[in-house]
Structure 1
Amino acid sequence: MLSSLKMWRARATSNVEDPLYEYATTGKVKHLEQVIERYQSDLFHFLKTQTQAASAEDICQKTWLKVIEKKSFYRQQGHPKAYLFHIARNLLIDSIRASGKLSELTDSKVGMTNSNEFTKTSEKQWLYQQIAALPLLQKEALSLQLEGFSLAEIAQIVGATQETVKTRIRYAKETLKSQVGENHE
């Protein structure tokens, strides 16, 4: 009885909650369109925080192509958004490796901004610049948290433990706090 209720619930909710699963099982384009409509802007925003806008667009397109190509491998485990971000992250890493900038990005330090340039109208832009200048792993974890992912989902996306993710986020926030403090002195 309990197992039949679970199966009924899975069938009843899969169509509404996970159009990616529906696309993977049926291959109908309308489900893929729903997935793209639902997650495109979040995916692009995440990629844009990790790389330049043109690269983010390319990687976003490659992500959708990979979803189409590998639809038979999708399993309804976790949130479909986490699955998409995992694919996008792997493609981002491939792109960075191909450009030879991986070591440069992981060793980068947060840049300083002159306090005279720090105005109320540019605070948000300044914060995005500071996040973009964080070391790659910290920037990635913080950006995913800002996208609304839980620690467990972030750990799944980046292939690390939850404790590692918490540490990366903590270091990122500490670095940003110190930069804010330096700008207001």
Structure 2
Amino acid sequence: MTLTRRTFVSATAGGAALLAAGCGDDEEKPRGGTSGGDLDVVNYALTLEFLEEDFYEAVVSSGVLSGREAELAEKILDNESEHVLALSSVAKDLGKPVGRPATDFDSVLSGGRDRVIRVAADLEGTGAGAYLAEAAKITSDEILASALAIHTVEARHASILNLLAGRSPVPDGAFATPIERGEVQRRIERFLV
């Protein structure tokens, strides 16, 4: 099935409800500006989702987690794979999807269960913050609704993983903190080959 921008909303968690409630037409309204437009934001998100998908594929295939934690990693992998599929389709509709980056998580996997859980929580928190930072740059109401739907899933992943890592699953404040691209790059560059 080919996803369009409109069906992208349906393919993301909660997106269909947001579309039904708030979108009556395809008119795009200006919001914050960005030099690369919606394609740039979608490809940025796609790069992060590729990274997360690769991470969970490595975790699941390594067997470093067991029991309920292994099941959780498989469920999160399924979510990340759906995000990749949806974002790839939208990027194709908007122009051209970014390529998948080469990744390496051997140093994480060799650190055992505790390191894997900590890094997973950090990656999910970084992803949630990255979506939040990019939201104002999105001009399409449909893409914004879908990005926010993915943001909430990333935040829920971070919450359960923080709990498993022995951290508080509840944020320190009432408002989430956006994470700008430079900081995101600093956090993920060690996993890029």
TM-score range, shorter chain: under 0.3
TM-score, normalised to structure 1, is: 0.27
TM-score by length of 2: 0.26
Find the structure with the greater CA-based Rg.
Answer: 1
* Structure with greater contact order relative to length (CA < 8 Å, sep ≥ 6): 2
The structure where helix makes up a greater share of residues is 1
